[in-house]
A and B are shown apart, each in its own frame.
Chain A
């Protein structure tokens, strides 16, 4: 039964993991808006989602005797450099307006994922309750 529950939440959970990873990358871009030679990056979302479904998010090993946790490293494969529309002379490729738009967009999708999850939980609660 528990594995069914897990499968029930798997899809929005994967999407949420990829969304949080992307929000981190976009926040890093905005933080480095004035750093010389910094290159803006973004997650290729479909690849990130694939990586998240393939590997899932797991534990990090700090000792070789630890149980093998699944790593989040495949997300790095989805990390790509952005092509700037207006490159600046100090080698920085961050365009704050674009980054902020992408960040808000990402936040809205994240909210949608949370709503999906909430409705799934509510559905399950309804099924569990006796009439």
Chain B
């Protein structure tokens, strides 16, 4: 039944988008963490999506998170000579989290999540109508 496949496809999208939202939350929470668990400043993380073939006969494609990469951009240098981690010139290495980028990422993830919920709702209505056929 193809309509049940719609549920499988959109649920992969929901979990992928919620993982993206999780990564955004972690980036924003650690926007000022000068030291992370490995002793280095925290590095922003980004998810990489990949299409996931689910039903090769009817062309259904889900989505999955292929990997979570560390943002390679340069860290933010903040001048604060009183900070215990300041270098000889008085600069502290802070995480490379870009708050504006993270906020847009968050909005995009939540919108895509909502749209997928809408799709799932429509599929559910159709399935219930099919079940009520002939009654």
* Chain A residues engaging chain B, CB cutoff 8 angstroms: 17, 20-21, 23-25, 27-28, 30-36, 38, 41, 60, 71-73, 75-76, 79, 96, 100, 103-104, 107, 110-111, 114, 117-118, 121
B49 at the interface (CB under 8 A from A): yes
In the complex, how many residues of chain B place their beta carbon closer than 8 angstroms to a beta carbon of chain A?
Answer: 38
B9 touches A31 (CB 8 A): yes
Q: Does B115 contact A (CB under 8 A)?
A: yes
- Taking A23-B123, A75-B58 as contacts, is the C-beta distance between A32 and B5 under 8 angstroms? no
Task: Check A25–B60 contact: CB distance below 8 A.
Answer: yes
B134 interfacial contact with A, CB 8 Å: yes
Nearest opposing residue in chain B for A111, CB measure: B129
Quick check: B57 and A20 within 8 Å, CB to CB? no
Is B40 close to A, CB under 8 A?
no
Can you pick out 17 interface pairs between chain A and chain B where the beta carbons lie within 8 Å of each other?
Answer: A17-B2, A20-B2, A23-B2, A27-B60, A28-B54, A28-B62, A32-B51, A32-B61, A33-B13, A33-B115, A34-B63, A60-B57, A76-B59, A103-B119, A111-B129, A114-B126, A114-B133
